């Protein structure tokens, strides 16, 4: 089933405001390869305590008269949220009183909602804390103390006169309110999942005030059309233990790099569609998934020299563009699905060296193969006469198996065969004849009988001939002795 790219709109709310409307922003981040985008609706307090402040301060026991000046509050660092550094948290007191530099160290102001604390210990070993804190909107007035029993009284106000957020040192006054959500889609959760372009609105309520915002989604995308099928292939063949899973693992396990046409090992694309998969000798285990049929642009599939078990999915017969299917040297079981005969563009089929049983499908005579390899399995029955209909067949490997009966001579008659291997079966009757030429003939370990044809030594291209282990009689033809290739 094809899944459209969808978008998850998630509302997060941090309320540390005094009496101001919250700041509501949107940020869109693609995080899911299976078609889900996350569009965050960030609802935060309008009050940002960063900035330059005027201060007045008195300090006990050093002095009772007020001193004044300016200080700056900044983020503690770029990696720490809701923690702030004060440029001179002594506010001039040490210079005025002790004529020394202000303390430094792991001292900072920390916000949790509207709850402000002052943790940390300075370079003199002193621990600091707020003793009282009043927030009026125009200013902060607070008292503080440290472990040396020094206390101070401070008033802060923004140099630019802007309104300050409500802050408190009393956890019971923390204004992390509960909010309700009402989306234009009808959802009342703090997120929605969407997959189509359009304008989406949400009303956020704190029980007293309503805040309405809209977001226009203009670039809703579809996931890559081959992602789901490739993900199924990865999971069904235990991709987590592949020897090389470059690209696949990041996308499927971590949702990073979702386009298989960009750096996935063994994947070749054309026009942003997967046309070739070659995962030869890559420790694939498990089974093949029928979902491979969804890779409808696929022309080549090579999963040879792995440990894949189970049956060959009949759904592979739906890959109408497939030209090469190579599943050699696995642990595939069951019968060969006749549905593979639907692959009219297939020119190479190799299922050799598996544990396949049953008969060679008669329907394979409908294929347009150049090469057919079914050797080293446990196939039984006779060789279908229908294979004679494959005019372009040049490589035929059917051994070893448990095939019986006579070899249909019309399969090779009047054809040039690069390679004819029928060894290790139980075939009987006369040896194949009538080829126009051949490269290698391997008919050993069968029950062929009769004499060796004179023509075997007359083929111009022959370079190998194995006939041992049969029930042949008569002398070896002189033409074989005279053959330049033998």
Domain final residue, candidates 185, 217, 249: 217
pLDDT for 69: 85
249 and 181 share a domain? Answer: no
Residue written as token pair 């194995």: 466
For residues 434 and 457, the answer to whether their CB atoms sit within 8 Å is: no
Which residues touch 439 (CB under 8 Å, ≥6 apart)? Answer: 417, 418, 419, 461, 462, 463, 464
Q: What is the CATH number of the domain that holds 112?
A: 2.40.128.120
Strand 371-373 versus strand 395-397 pairing type: parallel
Q: Helix (H, G, I), strand (E, B), or coil: what is residue 96?
A: helix
Backbone angles phi, psi at 426, to 5 degrees: -125, 35
My answer on whether 391 and 466 are in the same domain is yes
136 plus 67 within the same structural domain: yes
Q: Are 319 and 298 in contact (CB under 8 A)?
A: yes
Q: Which run of H or of E encompasses 358?
A: strand 357-358
Does 195 map to a domain?
A: yes
Same domain, 181 and 123: no
Q: Residue 447: which CATH number?
A: 3.80.10.10
**Chain center to CA of 414:** 51
pLDDT given at position 483: 84
Question: 263 in a domain, yes or no?
Answer: yes
**Residue 102 and residue 21 share a domain:** no
pLDDT at position 313, please? 97
Give the three-class secondary structure for 20.
coil
Residue at 87 is within a domain? yes
Q: Is residue 140 part of a domain?
A: yes
User: Does residue 169 lie within any of the structural domains?
Assistant: no
Q: What six digits make up the tokens of 394?
A: 């040049």
Query: Quick one: pLDDT at residue 286?
Result: 97
433 and 456 in contact (C-beta within 8 Å)? no
Is residue 307 one of the residues assigned to a domain?
A: yes
By the 10 Å C-beta count (0-12 exposed, 13-18 middle, 19+ buried), 123 is classed as exposed
| In a shared domain, residues 269 and 154 | no
Same structural domain, 151 and 295: no
Where residue 18 sits, what CATH number does that domain have?
2.60.40
* DSSP category for residue 379: E
Percent of the chain with pLDDT over 90: 47
257: left (phi over 0), alpha (psi -120 to 50) or beta: left
Do 148 and 206 sit in the same domain of this protein? no
Same domain? 294 vs 359: yes
Check residue 467 and give its pLDDT.
Answer: 96
Question: Cβ distance 89 to 73 under 8 Å?
Answer: no
Give the pTM: 0.62
Shared domain check, 91 and 30 = no
**Domain check: are 38 and 63 in the same one?**
no
**Which two tokens mark 95?**
């210079």
Q: What is the pLDDT, as a whole number, of residue 456?
A: 92
Q: How many angstroms separate the first and last alpha carbons of the chain?
A: 57
Beta bridge partner(s), residue 115: 112, 168
The CA distance from 39 to 30, in Å, is: 8
Residue 170 lies in a domain: no
Average pLDDT, the chain: 83
CA 24 to chain centre: 32
Residue 293 in contact with residue 270, Cβ under 8 Å?
no
Q: What angle is formed at CA 94 by the lines to CA 91 and CA 98, rounded to 5 degrees?
A: 160
Residues 6+ apart with CB under 8 A from 475: none
Give the model's pLDDT for residue 431: 96
Distances 204 to 45, 194, 209 between C-alpha atoms, Å: 13, 19, 8
3-class secondary-structure state, position 242: coil
Domain that holds residue 197: 6-46+176-217
Overall domain count for the chain? 3
What DSSP character marks residue 273? Answer: E
Q: Can you list the residues of the chain whose pLDDT is less than 50?
A: 1-20, 30-31, 45-47
Residues 18 and 127 placed together within one structural domain of the fold: no
């Amino acid at each position: 089933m094809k899944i459209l790219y969808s978008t998850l709109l998630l509302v997060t709310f941090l309320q540390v405001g005094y009496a101001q409307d919250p700041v509501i922003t949107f940020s869109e981040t693609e995080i899911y390869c299976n078609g889900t985008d996350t569009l965050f609706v960030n609802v935060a307090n309008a009050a940002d305590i960063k900035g330059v402040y005027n201060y007045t301060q008195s300090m006990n026991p050093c002095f009772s008269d007020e001193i004044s000046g300016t200080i700056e509050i900044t983020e503690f660092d770029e990696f720490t949220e809701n923690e702030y550094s004060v440029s001179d948290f002594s506010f001039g007191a040490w210079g005025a009183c002790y004529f020394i530099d202000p303390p430094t160290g792991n001292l900072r102001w920390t916000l949790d909602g509207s709850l402000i604390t002052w943790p940390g210990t300075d370079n003199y070993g002193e621990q600091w804390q707020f003793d009282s804190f009043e927030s009026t909107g125009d200013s902060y007035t607070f008292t503080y103390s440290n472990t040396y029993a020094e206390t101070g009284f401070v008033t802060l106000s923004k140099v630019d006169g802007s309104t300050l957020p409500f802050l408190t040192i009393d956890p019971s006054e923390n204004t992390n309110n509960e909010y309700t959500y009402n989306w234009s889609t009808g959802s009342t959760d703090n997120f929605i999942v969407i997959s189509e372009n359009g304008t989406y609105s949400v009303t956020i309520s704190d029980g007293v005030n309503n805040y309405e915002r809209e977001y226009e989604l203009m670039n809703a995308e579809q996931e890559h059309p081959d992602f789901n099928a490739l993900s199924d292939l990865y999971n069904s063949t235990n991709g987590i233990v592949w020897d090389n899973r470059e690209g696949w693992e990041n996308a499927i396990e971590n949702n990073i790099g979702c386009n298989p046409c960009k750096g996935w090992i063994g994947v070749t694309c054309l026009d942003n569609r997967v046309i070739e998969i070659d995962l030869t000798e890559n420790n694939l285990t498990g089974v093949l998934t029928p979902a491979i049929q969804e890779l409808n642009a696929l022309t080549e599939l090579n999963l040879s020299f792995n440990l894949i078990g189970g049956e060959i999915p009949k759904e592979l017969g739906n890959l109408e563009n497939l030209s090469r299917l190579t599943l050699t040297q696995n642990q595939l079981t069951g019968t060969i699905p006749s549905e593979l005969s639907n692959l009219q563009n297939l020119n190479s089929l190799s299922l050799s060296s598996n544990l396949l049983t049953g008969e060679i499908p008669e329907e394979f005579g409908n294929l347009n193969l150049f090469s057919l390899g079914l050797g080293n399995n446990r196939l039984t029955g006779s060789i279908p006469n229908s294979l004679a209909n494959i005019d372009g067949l040049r490589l035929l490997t059917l051994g070893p198996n448990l095939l019986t009966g006579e070899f249909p001579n019309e399969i090779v008659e009047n054809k040039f065969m690069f390679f004819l291997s029928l060894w290790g079966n139980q075939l009987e009757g006369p040896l194949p004849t009538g080829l126009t030429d051949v490269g290698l003939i391997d008919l050993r370990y069968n029950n062929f009988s009769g004499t060796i044809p004179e023509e075997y030594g007359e083929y111009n291209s022959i370079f190998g001939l194995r006939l041992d282990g049969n029930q042949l009689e008569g002398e070896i033809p002189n033409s074989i002795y005279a053959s330049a290739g033998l």
